């Protein structure tokens, strides 16, 4: 997240900054820089009523903590990919070491009445490290990715320590009730925590609240951006280049959890089994690179590019390229405009904590003539967006049938489905999500409680996750 929130950072980082702006507070996290000699002392920048405090990482810390443990152990396990798990003792040690160092860097800046909100899988032991330093503040944790069932989670190195360290938080939030349930099952099975009430667990001497807080987007703002996006130069060029064909869109950071390879296969299956659609649709897949320094990601980058090339080679015609694969970021307004002009949004992750693209696609649609969302049942968003066409992303033929159905869906049905989903997105916004979590952390509301009232003092404190 840039210090002034000015670039095209994801909607979530911007929303968290918005929550901080309301009451003022401190934003602490990694600067995104790797330096020869990383100092424990944070660099501090004041922007209005928000203090940004950021620390750098050394190459060793980056390799072991971020590229290593976070992205090669935690990420695959939390996405149910035991086959991709890589265990390395140095990485595990590095993960806990960096969390300890980060806690020590933040400690001098903390006030006794600060509420602390820690985000994502990079910082699981953070509360426990702060507790060791003597802090009794209310500390909440939100996991942006799924939490798997105990048989999978228990393959994590230092599994027991993770569960115990999570006991340092007062509130632990997940995207879906299923993730929360999986986590509670882990605590009980390991004999580390016991249920003491609805959503409450006792871990040692601490009582923690565990609940589902599905993250939202800034729905109205996104819808407005999409309207503006229609006039965007790139969107207009895209519209012209379609020459009347329908657009199917996929937007995902390059990641194996997103099921891009399987999606290309499903699209190919759709064209083969529906020859009437040949030369009548274009599938645009926007996939910015991510984590290119992790070897599996580099390999995947090549594989997906090859797969889309091969598919185009076998399906395409002289005047028709079925798949347009773009391996870089497009601007925020252009993205919103592209969603709006698409007939189908193809969001088929093999596993996803939430998936904000699904929500953005819905928010961007024209109310009078909305496109159809085809959504994986394994995305957290499927809980709220159950009026989409839900699919099993592993089943290419079923996905192909879903694409055909989406393209042929009558206007009335499209409108009905869209209206229900849009209403939900208008209620469950990212602001409501922040409010509900913080109210729960502040003890002002029960789980799933009322939106939080503004506090008189500042001090809520998101610990920001590392860049994608």
User: What positions carry a catalytic annotation?
Assistant: 144, 352
Give the three-state DSSP class for 173. Answer: strand
Nearest approach in angstroms of CB 166 to ligand GDG is: 18
Nearest approach in angstroms of CB 39 to ligand GDG is: 29
Among 72, 122, 131, 144, binds ligand GDG (CB under 6 A): 144
Among 12, 208, 400, 461, binds ligand GDG (CB under 6 A): 12
Pair of tokens at residue 44: 């501090």
Spatial distance between the Cα atoms of 284 and 301, rounded to a whole number of angstroms:
16
Nearest approach in angstroms of CB 230 to ligand GDG is: 16
Q: Is 192 in the site for ligand GDG (CB under 6 A)?
A: no
Among 124, 264, 338, 357, binds ligand GDG (CB under 6 A): 357
Q: Are strands 50-57 and 25-34 parallel, antiparallel or unpaired?
A: parallel
Using the structure block, give the residue that is written with the tokens 């595990």. Answer: 92
Nearest approach in angstroms of CB 220 to ligand GDG is: 16
Spatial distance between the Cα atoms of 88 and 82, rounded to a whole number of angstroms:
14
Which neighbouring-strand residues pair with 174?
A: 212
Spatial distance between the Cα atoms of 313 and 36, rounded to a whole number of angstroms:
46
Of 32 and 443, nearer to ligand GDG (C-beta) is 32
Q: Is 220 in the site for ligand GDG (CB under 6 A)?
A: no
Which neighbouring-strand residues pair with 320?
A: 317
Among 215, 264, 304, 403, binds ligand GDG (CB under 6 A): 215
Contact map string, positions 247 to 286, toward ligand GDG, x by CB under 6 A? ----x-x--------------------------------x
Contact map string, positions 292 to 331, toward ligand GDG, x by CB under 6 A? -------------------------------------xxx
Give the three-state DSSP class for 226. Answer: helix
Q: Is 360 in the site for ligand GDG (CB under 6 A)?
A: yes
Nearest approach in angstroms of CB 134 to ligand GDG is: 31
CB neighbourhood size of 182 (10 A): 18
Q: Are strands 281-286 and 246-251 parallel, antiparallel or unpaired?
A: parallel
- What is the 8-class DSSP label of residue 122? G
Q: Is 467 in the site for ligand GDG (CB under 6 A)?
A: no
Of 202 and 426, nearer to ligand GDG (C-beta) is 426
Contact map string, positions 335 to 354, toward ligand GDG, x by CB under 6 A? x----------------xxx
One DSSP character per residue, 304-317 reads HHHHHHHHHHHH-B
Contact map string, positions 84 to 113, toward ligand GDG, x by CB under 6 A? ------------------------------
List Cα–Cα distances, 205 to 149, 169, 184, 201, 202, in angstroms: 25, 12, 17, 10, 7
Nearest approach in angstroms of CB 143 to ligand GDG is: 9
Spatial distance between the Cα atoms of 439 and 449, rounded to a whole number of angstroms:
7
List Cα–Cα distances, 20 to 1, 48, 113, 360, 459, in angstroms: 14, 11, 15, 23, 8
Give the three-state DSSP class for 293. Answer: coil
Q: Is 468 in the site for ligand GDG (CB under 6 A)?
A: yes
Task: Please report, as residue ranges, which positions from 381 to 440 form the binding site for ligand GDG (by CB under 6 A).
Answer: none
Question: First vs last Cα of the chain: how many Å apart?
Answer: 10
Backbone angles phi, psi at 419, to 5 degrees: -60, -45
Nearest approach in angstroms of CB 8 to ligand GDG is: 5
Q: Which residues bind ligand GDG (CB under 6 A)?
A: 8, 10-12, 144-145, 215, 251, 253, 286, 288, 329-332, 335, 352-357, 360, 468
């Amino acid at each position: 997240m840039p210090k002034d929130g000015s670039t095209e950072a994801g909607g979530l980082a911007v929303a968290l900054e918005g929550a901080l702006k309301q009451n003022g507070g401190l934003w602490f996290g990694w600067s995104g820089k790797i330096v020869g000699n990383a100092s424990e002392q944070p660099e501090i920048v004041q922007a209005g009523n928000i203090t940004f405090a950021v620390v750098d990482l050394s190459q060793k810390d980056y390799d072991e903590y971020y590229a290593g443990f976070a992205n090669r152990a935690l990420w695959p396990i939390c996405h149910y990919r035991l086959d991709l798990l890589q265990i390395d003792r140095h990485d595990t040690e590095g993960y806990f070491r960096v969390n300890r160092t980060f806690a020590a860097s933040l400690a001098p800046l903390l006030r006794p009445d600060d509420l602390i909100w820690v985000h994502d899988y990079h910082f699981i032991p953070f509360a426990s490290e702060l507790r060791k330093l003597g802090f009794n503040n209310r500390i909440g944790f939100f996991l942006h990715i799924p939490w798997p069932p105990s048989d999978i989670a228990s393959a994590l190195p230092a599994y027991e320590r993770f569960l115990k360290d999570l006991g340092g938080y007062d509130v632990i939030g997940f995207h879906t009730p299923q993730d929360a349930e999986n986590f509670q099952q882990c605590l009980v099975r390991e004999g580390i925590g016991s249920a003491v009430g609805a959503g409450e667990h006792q871990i040692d001497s601490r009582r923690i609240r565990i609940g589902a807080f599905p993250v939202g987007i800034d729905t109205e703002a996104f819808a407005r951006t999409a309207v503006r996006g229609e006039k965007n130069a790139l969107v207009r060029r895209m519209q012209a280049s379609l020459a009347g064909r329908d657009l199917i869109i996929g937007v995902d950071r390059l990641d194996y959890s997103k099921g891009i390879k399987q999606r290309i296969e499903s699209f190919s299956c759709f064209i083969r089994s529906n020859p009437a659609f040949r030369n009548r649709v274009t599938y645009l897949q926007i996939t910015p690179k991510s984590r290119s320094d992790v070897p599996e990601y580099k390999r995947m980058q090549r594989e997906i590019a090859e797969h889309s090339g091969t598919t185009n080679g076998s399906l395409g015609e002289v005047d028709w390229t079925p798949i347009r694969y773009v391996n870089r970021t497009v601007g925020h307004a252009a993205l919103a405009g592209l969603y709006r002009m698409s007939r189908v949004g193809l969001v088929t992750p093999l596993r996803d904590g939430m998936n904000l693209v699904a929500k953005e696609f819905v928010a961007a649609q024209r109310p009078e003539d909305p496109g159809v969302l085809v959504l994986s049942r394994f995305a957290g968003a499927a809980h709220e967006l159950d009026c989409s066409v839900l699919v099993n992303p592993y089943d290419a033929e079923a996905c192909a049938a879903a694409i055909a159905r989406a393209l042929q869906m009558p206007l009335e049905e499209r409108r009905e489905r869209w209206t229900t989903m849009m209403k939900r997105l208008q209620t469950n916004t990212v602001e409501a999500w922040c409010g509900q979590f913080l109210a729960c952390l502040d003890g002002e509301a029960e789980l799933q409680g009322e939106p939080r009232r503004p506090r008189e003092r500042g001090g809520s404190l998101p610990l920001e996750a590392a860049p994608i």
